Amino acid sequence: MPARVMPDSPLFWREVAETTGGESISLCIQCNTCTSSCPVEALDPAFKVRQIIARVKLGLRDDVLEDPAIWSCARCFACVAHCPKHVRPGDIIEAVRHVSLREGNDGSGPRHTRAFVASMRESGRIHEARVTLDSIGIRGLAREGLLPLEMALRGKLPALRQRPLRSTPEIRAIIDGAEESG
């Protein structure tokens, strides 16, 4: 007998549909075209767009929001280009990410997103070392082994302090506007 799936939030799909980018979720017919056209899925077999959308529609809110795979989407829009029903799977994944961030989820994906935005807000640039450290932490960096040390010895690490761009105030305004619009 197949296992029964018990939704923890049967209307989770509506929450996603009401989040910017998630509007087309009800049009999805689960044909799998999105997953089969996804270049990320070829590199990360855990990332299956169709399955993420199916779990949203099934109401598996906690399962979806805690899944690190939702942060794997590269936003290349191959899924959007190939969808026969004009669903926007990449935008749906983005909407799920927004819900995850609103909930305060703290996996490496949300930490990376927050660190990226903080870096842009601070200097108008992406400070790769800081974003990496804030994303994976000291333990994660230690798991990288000698790579960071080798990079430092070869002069491949960015400066510890970056000079802010002159356009940093404009960049902050763009970020603030995006955050306000959801």
Dihedral through CA 75, CA 81, CA 82, CA 85, nearest 10?
100
Give the largest CA-CA distance in the chain.
64
In a shared domain, residues 130 and 56: no
User: What is the domain-level CATH number for residue 51?
Assistant: 1.10.1060.10
In a shared domain, residues 48 and 61: yes
Q: Indicate whether 83 and 45 sit together in one domain.
A: yes
The reply to whether 85 and 116 lie within a common domain is no
Q: Does residue 148 share a domain with residue 97?
A: no
For residue 95, being part of any structural domain is answered with yes
- Separation of CA 4 from chain center: 29
Instruction: Note the pLDDT of residue 99.
Output: 95
Position 13 scores a pLDDT of: 95
Q: Are residues 114 and 91 in the same domain?
A: no
Question: Which has the closest alpha carbon to 98: 19, 174, 3?
Answer: 19
Whole-number Å distance between alpha carbons of 22 and 142 = 37
Evaluate whether residue 2 is within a structural domain: no
Q: Are residues 51 and 119 in the same domain?
A: no
Q: Which domain holds residue 127?
A: 106-159
Query: Consecutive 10-residue runs of the chain (182 residues): their mean pLDDT?
Result: 72 95 96 96 92 97 94 95 97 96 89 92 88 86 80 76 86 88 68
Examine residue 48 and state whether it is found in any structural domain, yes or no.
Answer: yes
- Residue 141: what pLDDT? 79
- Total number of domains constituting the chain: 2
Question: Do 23 and 97 reside in the same domain of the chain?
Answer: yes
User: Are 137 and 124 in the same domain?
Assistant: yes
Let me know if residue 24 belongs to a domain: yes
Q: What is the pLDDT of residue 5?
A: 67
Burial class (CB in 10 A: 0-12, 13-18, 19+), 167: exposed
Kindly state whether residues 19 and 85 are assigned to the same domain.
yes
Q: What is the reported pTM? A: 0.80
In this structure, the answer to whether residues 94 and 127 fall within a common structural domain is: no
Say if 4 falls within a structural domain.
no
Tell whether 177 is covered by a domain: no
**What is the rounded end-to-end Cα distance, in angstroms, of the chain?**
43
Please check whether residue 37 lies inside any domain of the structure: yes
Considering the domain architecture, whether residues 69 and 150 belong to the same structural domain is answered as no
> By the 8 A CB rule, do 126 and 180 touch?
no
